[in-house]
Amino acid sequence: MNLKQIVFGAVALMVIASSCGKKGGTDAPVAPQEYPTQVLSAQNVQLETVYPVTVKGQDDTEIRPRIDGFIDAVYVDEGSVVRKGQTLFKVNSPSAEQALRTAEAAVESAKAQVATAELNVARFEPLASQGIVSDVQLKTYKNAQSSAEASLAQAKAQLANARAQIGWTNVSSPVDGVVGSIAYRLGSLVNNGNVLTTVSSSKNVFAYFSINEKELIKLLADLPGKSQAEKINNLPEVSLRMADGKIYDEKGKIRTITGLVNTTTGTVTLRAEFPNAHGLLRSGFSGNIIIPNHIDNAIVIPQKATFTQQDKYLIYKVQGDSVVSTQITVVPTPDGKNYVVTDGLSTGDRIVSDGIVTLSNGKKIVAK
């Protein structure tokens, strides 16, 4: 090896050593990253619990004919608003008409029998007083008169019944309301087993919904009152979100809770009542009922500050210069952007409020 090669090798070793020294200098610790944080404080919030409902009229009355016959006329159409006593259908009942004619004839016959009996009594009374005929014969005629009068009373009762049956040929509405679908039309043969239509009362409507046993206990737990009836009276007013997403103008009130739990579904049925003076709500409507729940001194955090692991909600709580993942229990707020924390955090705690995707448990940060 000549001198030139020795010098070249020495220079190469120096270059390599210098390069390694510079590379080792880049391994200096990385400065902690800055993250937005917030200190938790208590505030009053309004939560909402939503359940699907089915709307029914306060009175969904089935309209049936009281006699057999053919429909002669239909005076209303489906969806018509009707008043109590308004005639809806006309039924042609030949049997009722025949019964009326028979009853009228029976009354006339009974009247003739009474008149004959009265004549016999009037004719034999003077004869009996003179001893020409016996008292027994007079009493016989008087008994015949009483029997004829009783027959007349019976015939009149049958006539009144026949006239009432003729009145049943006019099928009227027993309530104010809205006419539903009409199942039978002109010429249809009907009897008292057929439902011609349904009239739903439009003044008030009922909204039926179901909740499970656990939710019911929670709903009633903090309400004042000793009995269930007292607690129901203290429930807050509820709102109705209709199928188009709009909130019904009038507030409703929960009035009843069924006494039995459905063993198949584990739910109980509740009924809320809503005023319906303008007839906007119809029987059969669907929607959602909204039950408000006011919470005092609640801790509210943004949803973007949380993450989930195995169906559990967690958050990064700041402790000193690092973060610790903490499990929490939450309830969503109506705006869909925040959570109410029911367990896991306290007022005064500092949490990371955004950018948690780059965090890990124990990582050091700079709190902003």
| CATH number of 321's domain | 2.40.420.20
Query: Residue 7 has what pLDDT?
Result: 44
Q: Are residues 111 and 191 in the same domain?
A: yes
- Residue at 27 is within a domain: no
**Is 171 inside any structural domain?**
yes
- Number of domains the chain contains: 3
- Six-digit token string for 48: 């909402």
Range of the structural domain that residue 253 is part of = 50-58+201-293
Residue where a domain stops, chosen among 263, 293, 323: 293
Instruction: Let me know whether 71 and 190 are in one domain.
Output: yes
How far is 59 from 206, CA to CA, in rounded Å? 9
Give the model's pLDDT for residue 278. 80
pLDDT string in tens for the chain (368-residue length): 554 555 455 545 554 555 554 444 455 567 888 899 999 999 998 888 899 999 988 778 899 999 999 999 999 999 888 999 999 999 999 888 899 999 999 999 999 999 998 898 888 788 878 877 787 887 888 898 899 899 999 999 999 999 988 989 999 999 888 898 999 999 999 998 999 999 987 688 899 999 988 888 888 887 888 888 888 898 999 999 999 999 999 999 999 988 788 878 889 999 999 998 887 888 888 999 999 988 888 999 999 999 998 889 999 999 988 989 999 999 888 888 899 998 999 999 999 999 889 889 989 988 88
**CATH number reported for the structural domain that contains residue 151 in this entry:** 2.40.50.100
What the block records as the tokens of 138 is 């007079």
CATH value at residue 249: 2.40.30.170
Are residues 170 and 289 part of one domain? no
Instruction: Mark whether 170 and 208 lie in a shared domain.
Output: no
Does some domain include residue 21? no
pLDDT of amino acid 201: 77
Judge if 83 and 192 occupy the same domain.
yes
Angle at CA of residue 101, ends 88 and 94, nearest 5° = 45
CB 201 within 8 A of CB 177: yes
> Given this model, what pLDDT does residue 27 score?
55
Q: Same domain for 187 and 107?
A: yes
pLDDT of residue 176: 85
- CA distance linking residue 103 with residue 161, whole number of Å: 9
Token digits of residue 129? 């007083």
Q: Examine the fold and report which residue of 137, 170, 199 is the final residue of a domain before the chain moves on.
A: 199
Q: Which helix (H) or strand (E) holds 322?
A: strand 322-332
Query: How far is the first Cα of the chain from the last one, in angstroms, to the nearest whole number?
Result: 65
pLDDT of residue 224: 87
Does 162 fall in a domain? yes
pLDDT at 334: 82
Q: Encoding tokens for residue 182?
A: 């009409």
54 and 88 belong to one structural domain: no
Q: For the chain, how big is the Rg over CA atoms in Å?
A: 44
Chosen domain end from 293, 328, 356? 293
Say what the pLDDT of residue 16 is.
52
- 98 shares a domain with 174: yes
Bridge partner list, 270: 209, 257
- Is 89 found in the same domain as 39? no
Q: Are residues 205 and 154 in the same domain?
A: no
In a domain, residue 23? The reply is no
The reply to whether 78 falls in a domain is yes
Dist. CA 71–CA 50, nearest whole Å: 46
pTM: 0.60
Token pair listed for 316:
């990064």
**Does the residue 166 lie in any domain?**
yes
Predicted pLDDT at 3: 46
Q: Is residue 314 in some structural domain?
A: yes
Residues 173 and 147 reside in one and the same domain: yes
Q: Are residues 161 and 223 in the same domain?
A: no
Q: Is 64 exposed, middle or buried (0-12, 13-18, 19+ CB in 10 A)?
A: middle
